[in-house]
Structure 1
Amino acid sequence: MTTNQQRGTADIGVTGLAVMGANLARNFARNGYTVALHNRSRARTDQLVAEHGHEGTFVATESLEELVASLAVPRRVLIMVKAGQPVDDVIDQLIPLLEAGDIVIDAGNSHYEDTRRREAALAQQGLHFVGVGVSGGEEGALNGPAIMPGGPEKSYEALGPMLEKISAHHDGEPCCAWVGTDGAGHYVKMVHNGIEYADMQVIGEAYDLLRRVGGIEPAEQAEIFTAWNQTDLASYLIEITAEVLAQKDEATGGPLVDVIVDEAGQKGTGRWTAISGLDVGAPVAAIAESVFARSLSSQPHVREVARRTLAAGIESVEAPQPADREEFVEDVRQALFASKLVAYAQGMDMLAAAAQEYGWSLDLGTIASLWRDGCIIRADLLDVIMKAFGGRDTDRHPEPGTRAEGQPVNLLFAPEFSQAIAEALPAWRRVVATAVTAGVPVPVFSSALAYYDGLRADRLPAALVQGQRDYFGAHTYRRTDRDGSFHTLWSADRSEVEA
């Protein structure tokens, strides 16, 4: 049913009806909510009503004034426009139309710092601003995404039940829960996307190794990935990888993957994750390397010159075939699993660091539970991660800047994962060594292994780095045998003084 005459009755308003906004609006309507619609171009509103009006109750509006007038109190307005200035522009137009206690929701991929700024500004007006991370793409938006709302906890009383109803569900639980104040929702979504970057890259590296070293063509790899999806690697990304590799190109008859240009795009969230990792001091090297891998792929002219001029340093341009192909395939599977674990561990470590930096009460177990369905990184592995961080309890949140009692300091320290990596480690080392010998780039496989070895090392070369810093900048150093900070008089008699 549709109408443009209802006033004060709509449960939620959606402004911005491109694919994601339209699908979220349809999702709300399918779940029994009356949805007010607005778009800068009325044609898009009319198209949605004409094509999908039978799915539920929509209220078509011409302006933001009409949109707000159609909403029941407290008014809930969901913004789905391009991140950045367009969001601010819509907010500026909404503020004079709203009343204290109303809720403005940004469900786009906004930067968390923008969300923090907007939440503080709207709070001064008595309004709730909620930054919501939504993962699952167009299909998820329509049929049930993973939803990560932040903002004032009180706003969740009016908004949360609606978001939980339209979200994906896993074992009867909604993949939606309040995650923290101000920008926490968009921050958690950003880290989700960073893990997604790394996950996709390690799958790509596995494919490359199987083909260039193992000599396994895409169609056969599709069968391998399908089989892997029945193991501890079971996930949405492994599933769709098998489908992509099995796809034939109609024009050439060959594998579709062979005619796709090898330049990976990005929308910025992975880059934001790497930058924020540096800001909060979280070593998210695997995530950063996946971003750099996309950047390198997007330099085709430089790569073309490199192919003509840079030496390979290997005996043959053809990679040596493994002596036992089945063993090699299994080695790659284990290396992929171990590297994937590291990406998740780095993402979770970054969330814990951000909670301390921004005073958020992030429950890592709850966050892992939100990713179990509806989102791009959904995987069987997340059930184990959720349990490692103490299970899901949406009524329990650690104190801001702390971890819940009993949670491992690092995900890799959880017994399930430390044992799994111990078993995969020999294969992981063999695969990285083979790739280096064959000249096949595996930036995330190797970075993840270096991170693991860095964690377990009894001494790191950071001691020498600190000595160098003291030499050229008098930055001081600490000693292993007594307390305090010290400086060596490098340009004088090289005696040591206490700083």
Structure 2
Amino acid sequence: MQIGMIGLGKMGGNMAERLRRGGHEVIGYDRDPEVSDAASLEDLVERLQAPRVVWVMVPAGEPTRATITALGEVLSPGDLVIDGGNSHYKDDQKHAAELAEKGVGFVDVGVSGGVWGLENGYALMAGGDAENVQRLTPVFETLRPQGPDGFVHAGSIGAGHFAKMVHNGIEYGMMQAFAEGWELLEASDVVTDVPGAFASWRHGTVIRSWLLDLLVRALEQDPDLSELKGYAEDSGEGRWTVQAAVDHAVPLPAITAALYARFTSRQADSPSMKMIAALRNQFGGHAVTSAEGQS
């Protein structure tokens, strides 16, 4: 197929390269002229043969909204837009309706694979009309991992990003469990080879996983993680997952706790923990100095 790719960063650039390796013609556009094939969105559209397929891989929120609005002004009826970023599923429904007024189709695709996707393939979760999803089969077949799995037509518009949102929420919980286990092993005076303990779990155990492989790799590079700060951002999907759980009255205690743990990581001196220390001092005389509280 011929396809336009908007956004040639770590994900979009590698996806474009994997598609080229698979025999597709990819014309890329990026604000960085050093990596862009096209000079503008208009130039990109002019270089694509109708009916066109354009994959958008830019940050969620305003960058995606602005890009899709701009595409709606230059694309033609019968063209198809894919949003492969981490957009909110409700935004997908708005974007699909906006493009439908122009006769342009829309498919949302949750993409997982990170920087390893170029070689290993990407897990893809698509939402949209069956006809549009079917039209993109050659692209999906090239991007997904080898084997029977790695792709799902999850449902109607928004389903792809909803599935990816829940995937990322589960990822939060799994990462938090591994992190807590690592901290407990480090705190113990019984286990003297913490990296070795994690490495021993990579085969034959019920928690073996790619995340565990990456954890072992991180410990090989920095055994006590002394080169890192205890600070973790959240990219938005964890918050959306928790909010969706509230909307549907579904309890998510592990994922919610993992999200709040990331918020805690941003506090060098937690205000709530100061109050806990103050209360413990009031009822039990457990005095803790500021310096001790930060150690």
Find the partner of 1:98 among 53, 68, 75.
Answer: 75
**Which secondary structure state, in structure 1, belongs to the residue aligned with residue 106 of structure 2?**
strand
2:226 corresponds in structure 1 to 258
Residues 209 and 311 of structure 1: CA distance in aligned 2, closer, same or farther (over 3 Å): farther
Give the drift of 1:308: 6.7
Distance verdict in 2 for CA 1:158–1:101, change over 3 Å = same
Letter in 2 for 1:24: M
| Aligned partners of 1:76 and 1:104 also within 8 Å | yes
Name the counterpart of 1:167.
144
- Alpha carbons 2:18, 2:142 under 8 Å: kept: no
Instruction: Quote the residue 1:212 is aligned against.
Output: 187
1:125 corresponds in structure 2 to 102
Displacement of 1:200 in angstroms is: 0.3
Counterpart CA distance in 2 for 1:111 and 1:223 is: 40
Helix, strand or coil at the partner of 2:152: coil
- Pairwise CA distance, 1:65: 1.9
Report the counterpart of residue 156 of structure 1 in structure 2: 133
Equivalent position SS for 1:105: strand
1:201 to 173, 176, 197: 176
Which AA in structure 1 matches 2:19?
F
Where does residue 35 of structure 1 map in the other structure?
A: 26
**1:275 alignment partner in structure 2:** 243
How far the C-alpha of 1:16 sits from its partner, in A, is: 1.4
- Structure 1 residues 142, 15: closer, same or farther in 2, change over 3 A? farther
Gaps of 5+ in 1: 1-9, 46-59, 249-254, 315-499
Runs (4 or more) in structure 1 with deviation over 4 Å come to 303-314
Alignment of 1:35-434 (within 5 A): 35-45=26-36, 60-141=37-118, 143-169=120-146, 172-213=147-188, 215-217=190-192, 220-230=193-203, 231-248=205-222, 255-302=223-270, 305=274, 311=280
**The residue matched to 1:104 in structure 2 has which SS?**
strand
Give distance in 2, aligned partners of 1:216 and 1:306: 34
Deviation at 1:239, TM superposition (A): 1.3
Structure 2 counterpart of 1:147, one-letter code? L
| TM-superposed deviation, 1:96 | 2.8
SS in 2 for 1:301: coil
Instruction: Please give the secondary structure, in 2, of the residue aligned with 1:298.
Output: coil
Counterpart AA for 1:246: E
- Whole-angstrom CA distance in 2 between matches of 1:63 and 1:241: 41
- Length, aligned pairs only: 281
CA offset at residue 67 of structure 1? Answer: 1.2
Larger radius of gyration: 1
Aligned to 1:20: 11
C-alpha distance 223-181 of structure 1, shift in aligned 2 (>3 A): same
Q: Measure, in 2, the Cα distance between the counterparts of 1:22 and 1:235.
A: 26
How far the C-alpha of 1:132 sits from its partner, in A, is: 0.8
CA shift for structure 1 position 247: 2.9
User: What is the rounded CA distance, in whole Å, between the counterparts of 1:238 and 1:201 in structure 2?
Assistant: 12
Contact 2:233-2:262 at 8 Å conserved across structures:
yes
| 1:405-458, Cα deviation, whole Å (9 max, x unpaired) | xxxxxxxxxxxxxxxxxxxxxxxxxxxxxxxxxxxxxxxxxxxxxxxxxxxxxx
Contact 1:119 1:128 in 2 (8 A): yes
Once the two structures are superposed, what CA deviation does each residue of 1:14-70 show, in whole Å capped at 9, x if it has no partner?
11112211111111101110101112232232xxxxxxxxxxxxxx22122221122
CA distance in 1, matches of 2:129, 2:74: 20
State percent identity of aligned pairs. Answer: 37
CA spacing shift, 1:119–1:41, aligned 2, 3 Å: same
Aligned Cα root-mean-square deviation (Å): 2.3
> Gapped runs of 5+ residues in structure 2?
285-295
Letter in 1 for 2:216: A
Aligned partner of 1:392 in structure 2 is none
